[in-house]
Amino acid sequence: MGLSKKDLISIHDLTVGEVATILDVTRKLKRKQKSGEPHQYLNGKMLAMIFSKASTRTRTSFEVGFWQLGGHPIYLSDESSQIGRGEPVRDTARVLSRYVDGIMIRTFSHESVIELAKYADVPVINGLTDLLHPCQALADIFTIKEKLEVLKGRKLAYIGDGNNMAHSLMFGCAKSGMNMVCASPKGYLPNAEIIDLAQKDAAETGCTIQLEEDPFKAVAGADVIYTDTWASMGQEEEHEKRLKALSRYQVNGELLAAARPHAIVMHCLPAYRGEEITDEVMESPQSVVFDEAENRLHAQKAIMALLMSDEVL
């Protein structure tokens, strides 16, 4: 089956049909893993995983997922490789392409991932940049489908910092026909170019991507409330300033009560209780954050299998 592009860098690069395929293969692989059915589509393959930022979920789910598919992952950090000492991305890309069958990268600059993919002969998967977090958003869309069954016409309200997560959710919602409203204060709005691209994608599937300053207006009629940290990796020194600027945008019991009664609460994690979300909401029956974290495993296995295997899944 496969995907038309060599790499997974942004959900925007995928067709509507390819997003649906990833969701479908995710479902199949999750079922196989739960029932103990073998699914070693990447037997003997090697994956290099480059991490220039911290990770719990991404590292573990990629590593476990690749093993489950029959492959062997290799972890490279800035400290343990020449990447942290300044070896150019284009050299790293060409060297790793001689050893491995795929590269997953988590780093700061989005342009570095684009350059890596340009010079690599093997598929490159974006495991988060300052701009995008596509694997998380695909796992999230899968989770919404699992919980709410129908995606088309649903409303996702993203509350908080207009960051990498907001950007990838915009593309994820647009490609799957979900309406999204992003509520962020001035100065913390999503990237204007991303909004524009996502709105064009949304026009294709007949949904809308909108901004709304008031978090209560944003959650009215919402089926999904989503939030993320107010200070992403690399913004640690802005933490105090961001706490003040975003304080009205906390996902708490009052905000949750303003959404539809069946609304689910999502967070890519790690969560900072008492900041972007309260402990009460994180632990409420409406919170699906740990199913969402589990689905990273299944969605990434689907992405890797589709990019790196010729077998029809």
Q: What is the dihedral of CA 65, 69, 74, 77, to 10 degrees?
A: -20
Q: Specify whether 133 is catalytic.
A: yes
Which of ligand NVA, ligand CP, none lies near 56, with the C-beta cut-off 5 to 8 A by kind?
Answer: ligand CP
Per CB under 6 A, 269 contacts ligand CP: yes
Whether 155 and 221 have beta carbons less than 8 Å apart is answered as yes
Q: Determine which one of 106, 154, 267, 298 is catalytic.
A: 106
Kindly tell me which residue out of 229, 287, 295, 309 binds ligand NVA, with binding defined by CB under 6 A: 229
Q: Which residues of 200-220 are buried (b: 16+ CB within 10 A; e: fewer)?
A: ebbeebebebeebeebbebbe
Nearer to ligand NVA, 201 or 228 (CB): 228
3-state secondary structure of 299: helix
Closest CB to ligand NVA among 8 and 268?
A: 268
Q: Report d(CA 121, CA 105) in Å as an integer.
A: 15
**DSSP conformational letter for 287:** B
The answer to whether 268 is a known catalytic residue is yes
Residue 12 bears catalytic tag: no
- Residues 6 or more apart in contact with residue 247 via CB below 8 angstroms: none
Cα 206-210-213 angle, rounded to 5 deg: 160
| Least distance in angstroms from the C-beta of 220 to ligand CP | 27
Please state the closest distance from residue 79 (CB atom) to ligand CP, in A.
17
Question: For ligand NVA, which is the closer residue by CB, 97 or 232?
Answer: 232
Active-site residue among 12, 59, 110, 133? 133
Q: How many residues does the chain have?
A: 313
| Least distance (Å) between residue 49 CB and ligand CP | 11
- Find the part of the chain contacting ligand NVA (CB under 6 A) among 29-37, 119-127, 227-235, 302-310: 227-235
Give the footprint of ligand CP on this chain (CB under 6 A): 55-58, 128, 136, 268-269
